[in-house]
Structures are given as C-alpha cells and as structure tokens.
Structure 1
Amino acid sequence: MEENVLKAMEEAGKPVRPGEVAKTLGVDSKDVSKAIKTLKEAGKVMSPKRCYYQPA
C-alpha cells in the first residue's frame, strides 16, 4: 500500500490530500492515511501544509 500511495503522490506532481490519493487508487481513505503515516515516519513523505502531503 505504501508504494502505491507514494507512486500516486509522485504522479500528482503537487501536494495532495489523503482523500485525493484514495480516490485515485480506488481504496479507503483510512488505509491511505495509515500508509502516509508510515511513509512520514520513514522520511519518504513530507507535509508542506496541514493535511497535504508530497514525496520528500
């Protein structure tokens, strides 16, 4: 799941919200939020502003 979320963020080319990623991937936004949390702890994702995320 983490790899799919990261790939979707890279393809978006701009900071995205978890809901946008969920819609793109066709999965539940809670699953995307969990994946983003894991990616953020690993340093692969950063948040330029509240509730928006992009690859680090």
Structure 2
Amino acid sequence: MEEKILKALQEKGAMRPGDIAAAAGVEKAEADKAIKKLVKEGKVYSPKRCFYDIQK
C-alpha cells in the first residue's frame, strides 16, 4: 500500500488524499491511513494544507 502511494507521488507530485488514492488505485480510507503512517515515518510531508508530497 505505502509503495503504491509513494510511486503515485513520485510520478505526479503533490496531491490531495483523494487524488493520491485514485492514482494509486486504492480506497480513499486506506490511502488516508497509509499517508498518516508515511508522515510519521518522515517519508511524506504536507507542503500546504490538504496536500501531500514525498519528503526530498
């Protein structure tokens, strides 16, 4: 799950959680959980409100 989300962010850049879920081909609720986990791990961050991108 996390790998799909990271790949989608690498390909398309900063996106909203719903867009990330669609790009990764997963349910939005599942994507939300995975995004929160990735933020805690420091792999993803929020450059502006309601958007997420890969930590560079």
Gaps of 5+ in 2: none
**Structure 1 stretches (4+) deviating beyond 6 angstroms?**
none
Write the distance in 1 (CA, Å) between the matches of 2:19 and 2:8.
9
Q: Given residue 30 of structure 1, which amino acid in structure 2 is its aligned partner?
A: A
Alignment coverage as a number of residue pairs: 55
TM-score normalised by structure 1 residue count: 0.90
Unmatched 5+ residue regions in structure 1? none
- How many angstroms apart in 2 are the aligned matches of 1:15 and 1:25? 13
Structure 2 counterpart SS, 1:49: coil
RMSD of aligned residue pairs (Cα, Å): 0.8
Give me the whole-angstrom Cα distance separating, in 2, the residues matched to 1:55 and 1:25: 14
TM-score, normalization by structure 2 = 0.90
Aligned positions of 1:12-51 closer than 5 A = 12=12, 14-51=13-50
Listed one character per residue, the Cα deviations across residues 11-45 of structure 1 (whole Å, up to 9, x for unaligned) are 10x21011111111222101001000000000000
Is the strand fraction higher in 1 or 2?
Answer: 1
